[in-house]
Amino acid sequence: MSTSGVAALDHTVQETNAWLRAVAEQLHFEDRQHAYLALRAVLHALRDRLPPEVAVHLGAQLPILVRGVYYEGWHMAGKPTKDRSVQEFADHVLQALPPRFPMDPLTVTRGVFEILWERLDAGEFAKLMDHLPTPLRTMRR
């Protein structure tokens, strides 16, 4: 079904919906908005923790609409953040989630990391993870 008349845009809407559906299933969300907010919060925390050139490489692997969410509000200055522990990273995710979000940020992070692992090239995702401190590499279930 074409809604925009532009095949590339229609395709990325479908891809984005598939990503949101995967996040919702992984985290057992019935509300797609929660899946979107979870994906956005983790992508922003991950983007901010990576060296800029690695963050750009990750962004290039994402579907167009997801890539737009990923880059939303990004300022390269002061990056990467110094989150070294799982808790510091989870706190970064928590700051990006709305108040009273129905799931803890550590579970959200692990779930979104699973989706990234499934949907991105495994070798590329492994290289990306090598740029994170050892404790953060364990975020994948």
pLDDT in tens, 96-105: 999 999 999 9
Using CA of residue 49, residue 52, residue 54, residue 57, what is the dihedral sign? positive
CA distance 9 to 135: 38
What is the per-residue pLDDT for 2?
A: 60
Stretches where the chain sits below pLDDT 50 are: none
The CA angle 25-119-99, to the nearest 5 degrees, is 50
What is the per-residue pLDDT for 141?
A: 53
For the segment(s) 7-137, the CATH number from 3.30.365.10, 1.10.490.110, 3.40.50.2300, 1.10.8.10 is: 1.10.490.110
CA distance 113 to 57: 16
CA distance 85 to 82: 9
Beta-carbon contacts of 59 under 8 Å, excluding residues fewer than 6 positions away, are: 47, 67, 70, 71
CA distances from 26 to 36, 49, 56 (A): 13, 23, 26
